[in-house]
Amino acid sequence: EVQLVESGGGLVKPGGSLRLSCAASGFTFSNYSMNWVRQAPGKGLEWVSSISNTGSSIFYADSVKGRFTISRDNAKNSLYLQMNSLRAEDTAVYYCARGGLNWGYNYWGQGTLVTVSS
């Protein structure tokens, strides 16, 4: 069974940093592109970042470019999102999702809440 489990969310002050993790199981992690999607409270979905299966291709939303860094460790079946210079508008539930351009995001984690507030 495919499972994606996010962790690392919490309360952080503006300007602070946080590192999210996503532990994957039930599939060959190194074969799949992975993604982060977020959802602010009461709002819609926002794509944040994607990384190819080898990590050689990485993409970011303009809203996080230069502040967030996506990475993966295929040996540990894990996806990461390093978030620096956090702002109030980064407050959201962050989901990791498996998928690619040809078939959408077919597996999602349960999400981890990041709250940026003083």
Partner 1 sequence: DIQLTQSPTFLSASVGDRVTITCRASQGISRYLAWYQQKPGKAPKLLIYAASTLQSGVPSRFSGSGSGTEFTLTISSLQPEDFATYYCQQLNSYPLTFGGGTKVEIK
Positions in the binding site for partner 1 (CB under 8 A): 37, 44-47, 50, 59-62, 95, 99-106, 108-111
* Residue 80 or 95 with smaller CB distance to partner 1: 95
| Cβ 104 to partner 1 shortest distance, Å | 3
Q: Please, which residues bridge with residue 108 across strands?
A: 97
- The distance of closest approach from Cβ of residue 111 to partner 1 in the complex, given in angstroms and rounded to an integer, is 6
DSSP string, 38-70: EE-TTS-EEEEEEE-TTS--EEE-TTTTTTEEE
Tokens 């407050």 -> residue:
91
**Cβ-contact 41, 92 below 8 angstroms:** yes
Least distance to partner 1 from the beta carbon of 116, Å?
A: 21
Closest CA to 90 of 58, 48, 59, 60: 48
| Kind and range of the H or E run holding 23 | strand 18-25
Tell me whether residue 16 or residue 111 sits nearer to partner 1 (CB atom). 111
Tell me the closest approach of the beta carbon of residue 5 to partner 1, in angstroms: 12
